[in-house]
Amino acid sequence: MTRLSVNINKIATLRNSRGGNIPNVLEAAIRCQEYGAQGITVHPRPDERHIKKQDVFDLRPIVNTEFNIEGYPSREFLDLVIGVAPEQVTLVPDAHDAITSNQGWDAKKHNAFLKDVVSELQSYNIRTSVFVETDVNNLEATKETGTNRIEFYTEPYAKQFPLNKEAAVKPFTIAAKKALELHLGINAGHDLNLENLKFFAIKVPGLLEVSIGHALIADALYYGLEKTIHLYLEQLQ
């Protein structure tokens, strides 16, 4: 079964919009795990518009499943994650002012940089994942960085899914097979939801983990958090 990691950024966004501590990010993480989520994901950005640095430290003793921290590997970010020691760090090529992640790494262009980052994180026994698209040649370059896993950027799949789901998933199926040949673990995330998740999980071989935040938290407004997590877990069985 593919593991479900819940990205709780949107809960922090709601909290920050009003100030104070409602909703409580730590309580949300505890509840997500109690309801069956197998991981918690956060993406602390430099402007702290959702998850704050202090949240990351406060969450570490709370997360008893898998703690996955996403972010651009600036020196500040690397110092943060090394200090927190999560189970996994997902490296994304976001600009500092990006609204959300919107592309994968060009692993050929940034190969030396990624090698250094991956090596440093792994020296602290932190599993690494590199955010990528489906270009198989880029996957070969990503393998050269020494990363443990990749995470597929799935917005292109989500956008095409309502029009032609077979065509939408085909590049990911091909790329996943290549990743398996390269002995890369496979994660995925971005715009996966209750409509498109099950088909993706069926069609993409070797899928270890999905990280879902925006859609899941939005669905929780309608169904409640516990039921929503159960619904997402059902799509992955």
Q: SS3 sequence, 148-178?
A: CEEEEECHHHHHHCCCCHHHHHHHHHHHHHH
Question: Is 96 a catalytic site residue?
Answer: no
Residue 229: closest CA among 15, 28, 12, 26: 28
DSSP string, 16-57: HHH-TTSS-HHHHHHHHHHTT-SEEEE---TT-SSS-HHHHH
> Is 183 a catalytic site residue?
no
> Of 43, 66, 133, 209, which one is the catalytic site residue?
43
Active site residue 140: no
Please identify which of the residues 50, 66, 133, 190 carries the catalytic annotation: 190
The whole-angstrom distance between residue 135's C-alpha and the CA centroid of its chain comes to: 19
Q: Measured at the alpha carbon of residue 82, what is the angle toward residues 76 and 84, in degrees to the nearest 5? A: 105
Identify whether the C-beta of residue 45 lies closer than 8 Å to the C-beta of residue 77.
Answer: no
Catalytic residue among 50, 66, 70, 151: 70
d(CA 138, CA 140): 5
**SS3 category, 110:** coil
Q: What does DSSP assign to residue 72? A: -
Q: What residues act catalytically?
A: 43, 70, 190
